[in-house]
Structure 1
Amino acid sequence: MALRGFLSRRFLTYLAGGVLSALADVGTMQALLVAGVPAVPAASAGFAVGLLVNYSFHARVTFRDLAGGGSGTVLRYLCLVAINYLITVAMVAAAERLLGMAMPGKLLSMPVVAVNGFLLGKHWIFRQRAARGH
């Protein structure tokens, strides 16, 4: 994707939703870590909270003009979630093993997950109407 695509209004809206989701995600993870929950379950819970915020925001705001709805959209979104979850947990586990801290892995995973989510969201998940010329 060209640099222009990443500077589009849609991508900037996507990033705003991502920031909101990230705050929910990292806040949940940090609260659980402070409460003594192990890193991977804490990261998983944070990911789940961030996921709910993320899907709601992007389906209603970022890609509302593309979203055709239906079970196909939900199934594709769940595939993306699985991919992004594996990326996140792998990076958290690697950071914990290499650095003795989970949070750097979480923070480093976020831009990777953001770019992956935007590209797949735009071109695969929320593409129904766009494919029909809207």
Structure 2
Amino acid sequence: MTQIQAAVSDEAKSIEEMLTASGYSKTAIAYYINKPHMGHISDADIASNMTGTCGDTMGITIRMNDGIIEDAKYQVMGCAGAISAAMAVVDLIKGKDLDYARSIDDGTVFKVLQEIPVKKHHCIQLAVKTLHKALDAHNLKQSA
């Protein structure tokens, strides 16, 4: 292991310990550290941005294929709660249709995350509201 790899590994371990002590589950921590669905889809069919009351900002981009969500990515400027909630939303909607995506609510995301601090539950709401805002805009566009 190189010095750089060791430093990154030590930093990740330190972050894990801090987030565990703050009340985050292993699942939420893994989403935060790995950020598996962080990014932007340039040829997205659906997109939206939203800023929460705390100042965290999220953008979602979704690519569709035959009525199914083929891929989705969030861009997040925010805390561990916001990032983990956004990543969980993508795991919930990927491979599903828009009606299923519309059914996603705060409780559904919380079950995936298992535990985050109570003061961070608004982060789950922001991730869900950003998704719903994108779906609403898409529905308006389709009906116009």
- What's the TM-score once normalised by structure 1's chain length? 0.31
Pick the structure with more helix per residue. 1
Of Structure 1 and Structure 2, the greater strand share is in 2
